[in-house]
């Protein structure tokens, strides 16, 4: 039953992906309650992620061709098994991204944000862009390829900022005049406000929760989002925009923010069955961009 479902999804999604220029797809996402797992296809490299109670047999992928199969348990971090040599490149709407299914908890490319990346690409002409929680810089690459004048990418992790730099190189993009900043966003934001920095487009796609020795306080999105987003509104130029998204199904955006929800525009076909991220936009009304 599972093999049939995955094959059927694959036929439908690959047709859709081909039309849109997307070759990395989520083929299965907990569709059948008895099989709580997801199957992602990164151009023939398959990642199967098992939720609690799930079991996997290769027969479940019967009828599908793949060059590599990696099976992981959700939430299990395998930093000790890092395999940098297993990284490979994938394409997405004219962009190239480095992906690694081994060791890291995430692959380097969140597939559910592909329409958001396309949107950012379309909106970035001549813009000064800020990408917070930039991870491997996929939104930053989209912004530069879309014609951004300068993109500032901020993340706590040197490992991911290096990865972002490699993604720039894979796309033939110069590092200058773009900026890569290693900092805790909660520490960085008040300094940016004091320095009266401002941007035409801000991308804020944070984790739900994070904790690290390098952070002064735990990052809890639900608790902190109102203050953080209020602060970010202060960095948006007249006529500029703030794009915010969140993957936590339980997240509730504070109504005081009056952001416009744009999830229907950014959540693509293969992430609609289970519900994926939600996204919002705020435009600084002080301008007429």
Ligand X SMILES: C[S@@+](CC[C@H](N)C(=O)[O-])C[C@H]1O[C@@H](n2cnc3c(N)ncnc32)[C@H](O)[C@@H]1O
Which residues are at the interface with ligand X (CB under 6 A)? 110, 113, 133, 135, 138-139, 155-157, 160, 184-186, 205, 207, 210, 215, 219
Q: Which is nearer to ligand X, 113 or 121 (CB)?
A: 113
Q: Which tokens in the block code for residue 49? A: 């992620």
Q: Which is nearer to ligand X, 266 or 284 (CB)?
A: 266
H/E run at residue 199? strand 199-204
Q: Which is nearer to ligand X, 7 or 197 (CB)?
A: 197
Q: Which is nearer to ligand X, 64 or 89 (CB)?
A: 89
What is each CA distance from 262 to 7, 96, 182, 250, in whole angstroms? Answer: 30, 25, 29, 17
Mention every residue, 6+ apart, whose C-beta is less than 8 A from residue 246. 205, 206, 208, 221, 225, 253, 277, 278, 279
What is each CA distance from 150 to 6, 125, 174, 235, 267, in whole angstroms? Answer: 42, 10, 11, 15, 27
How far is the C-alpha of 99 from the C-alpha of 107, rounded, in Å?
5
* H-assigned helices in 184-249: 185-194, 221-233
Q: Which is nearer to ligand X, 60 or 201 (CB)?
A: 201
Q: Nearest distance from residue 289's CB to ligand X, in Å?
A: 23
Q: Nearest distance from residue 66's CB to ligand X, in Å?
A: 24
Q: Nearest distance from residue 126's CB to ligand X, in Å?
A: 22
Q: Nearest distance from residue 168's CB to ligand X, in Å?
A: 14
User: Are 54 and 97 within 8 A, CB to CB?
Assistant: no
Q: Nearest distance from residue 257's CB to ligand X, in Å?
A: 19
What residue has token string 């004091």?
A: 194
* 133 CB-contact burial (10 Å; exposed 0-12 / middle 13-18 / buried 19+): buried
Q: Nearest distance from residue 160's CB to ligand X, in Å?
A: 4
Q: Which is nearer to ligand X, 15 or 158 (CB)?
A: 158
């Amino acid at each position: 039953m599972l093999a049939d479902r995955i094959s059927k999804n694959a036929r439908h999604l690959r047709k859709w992906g081909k039309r849109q220029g997307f070759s990395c797809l989520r083929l299965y996402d907990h569709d059948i309650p008895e099989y709580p797992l997801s199957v992602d296809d990164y151009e023939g490299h398959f990642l199967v992620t098992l939720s609690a109670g799930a079991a996997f047999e290769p027969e479940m992928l019967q009828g599908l061709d793949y060059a590599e199969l990696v099976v992981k348990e959700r939430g299990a971090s395998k930093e000790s098994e890092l395999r940098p040599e297993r990284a490979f490149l994938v394409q997405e709407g004219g962009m190239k991204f480095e992906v690694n299914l081994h060791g890291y908890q995430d692959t380097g490319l969140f597939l559910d944000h592909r329409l958001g990346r396309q949107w950012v690409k379309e909106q970035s002409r001549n813009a000064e862009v800020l990408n917070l929680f930039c991870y491997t810089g996929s939104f930053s690459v989209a912004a530069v390829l879309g014609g951004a004048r300068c993109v500032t990418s901020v993340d706590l992790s040197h490992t991911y900022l290096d990865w972002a730099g490699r993604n720039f190189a894979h796309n033939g993009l110069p590092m200058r005049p773009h900026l890569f900043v290693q900092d805790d966003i909660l520490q960085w934001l008040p300094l940016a406000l004091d320095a009266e920095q401002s941007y035409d487009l801000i991308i804020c796609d944070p984790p739900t929760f994070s904790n690290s020795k390098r952070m002064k306080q735990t990052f809890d999105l639900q608790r902190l989002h109102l203050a953080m987003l209020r602060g970010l509104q202060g960095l948006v130029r007249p006529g500029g925009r703030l794009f915010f998204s969140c993957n936590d199904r339980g997240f509730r955006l504070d109504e005081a923010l009056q952001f416009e929800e744009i999830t229907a525009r950014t959540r693509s076909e293969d992430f609609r069955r289970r519900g994926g991220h939600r996204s919002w936009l705020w435009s600084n009304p002080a301008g007429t961009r």
